[in-house]
Structure 1
Amino acid sequence: MLETPAPSHTQSVVPALADIEAARAVVSKVAQSTPMETSRYLAEVLGSEVLLKLENLQRTGSYKIRGAYYRMSRLSPEERARGVVAASAGNHAQGVAFAARELGIKATIFMPLGVALPKLQATRDYGADVLLRGHTVEEPLAAAAEFAKTTGAVLIPPFDHPDVIVGQGTLGLEIFEQAPDARTVIVPIGGGGLISGVASALKHRAAAEGRSIRIIGVQAANAAAYPPSLAMGEPTLIRTSATIADGISVAKPGALNFEIIRELVDEIVTVTEADIARAILVLLERAKLVVEPAGAVGVAAILSGQVGEDPGTTVVILSGGNIDPLLMQRVISNGLAASDRYLKLKIMLPDRPGQLARTAEIVAEANANVIEVLHTRHGRGLQLSEVELELSVETRGPEHRAEVVAKLRDAGYDARLVQD
Structure 2
Amino acid sequence: MFYDRVKIYVKGGDGGNGCVAFRREKYVPEGGPWGGDGGKGADVIFKGDSGLRTLVDFRYQRHYKGMRGQHGRGKNMHGRSADDLVMRVPLGTVVKDEKTGLVFGDIVTEGQELVVAKGGRGGRGNSRFAGPNNKAPGMAEKGEPGEERWLLLELKLLADVGLVGYPNAGKSTLISKVSAARPKIADYPFTTLTPNLGMVSMGEGRSFIMADIPGLIEGAHGGAGLGHEFLRHVERTRLIVHVLDTAGTEGRDPLEDFKVISRELELYNQDLAARPLVIAANKTDLPDSGENLERLKAALGDTHEIFPISAVTGAGVPNLINRVYQLLEEIPVQPLHDIQEQEFVHTTEPRFTITREDGELIVAGREIEKHVAMTDLENEEALDRLQRIISLMGLEKALKDYGAKNGDTVRIGDFSFDYVDF
TM-score, normalised to structure 1's length? 0.23
Q: Which has the higher helix share?
A: 1
User: Relative CO higher for 1 or 2, CA cutoff 8 Å, sep ≥ 6?
Assistant: 1
Q: Which has the higher strand share?
A: 2
Which of structures 1 and 2 has the bigger CA Rg? 2
